[in-house]
Homo-oligomer: A and B are copies of this chain.
Amino acid sequence: MVTKEPVRNPADTDVTRADSLAREIFAGVANKWTLLVINILGERTLRFTELRTEVGGISHKMLTQTLRNLERDGLVDRTVHPVVPPRVEYRLTEAGQALRNTVNRMCEWTRTYLDHIEAARRRFDSRL
């Protein structure tokens, strides 16, 4: 007799625990380059170089690395067109799109609180 859906050990799904799988995944995704790339890759399909120019300031190396991780986690699809010069296209998978929704909110949040934060900083810095 087996449990059909072997329910995951709750310890794995707890972002709070330093050694949980959830934490591992969360930490892997929670960094600026990953989130920015996901944000740029909206509904669109983009080539490597397009991505590179759209994500301001990202280096060739970091973009490659970020994309490999995203591909490995199944958040982006990578399509290689067998032509010369090579044409490689990236687009979000369904899982990637889902994450993108949250990233979008984060970007909106940034815009919404820009002034607020800038003001808070001035206040904080100008007292002592």
Contacts and interface: CB of A to CB of B under 8 A. Distances in A.
A40 B54 contact: no
Contacts of A121: 72-74
A62 interface: no
Contacts of A114: 8, 12-13, 21-22, 25
A12 B119 CA distance: 15
A15 B37 CA distance: 11
Contact of A16 (B15, B54, B95): B54
Contacts of A22: 107, 110-111, 114
B25 A120 contact: no
A99 interface: yes
Given A8-B115, A26-B107, A113-B95, A72 B125 contact: yes
A7 to B, nearest CB: 11
B99 A106 contact: yes
Interface of A: 8, 12-13, 15-19, 21-23, 25-27, 29-32, 35-36, 39-40, 54-57, 71-75, 95, 98-99, 101-102, 105-107, 109-121, 123-125
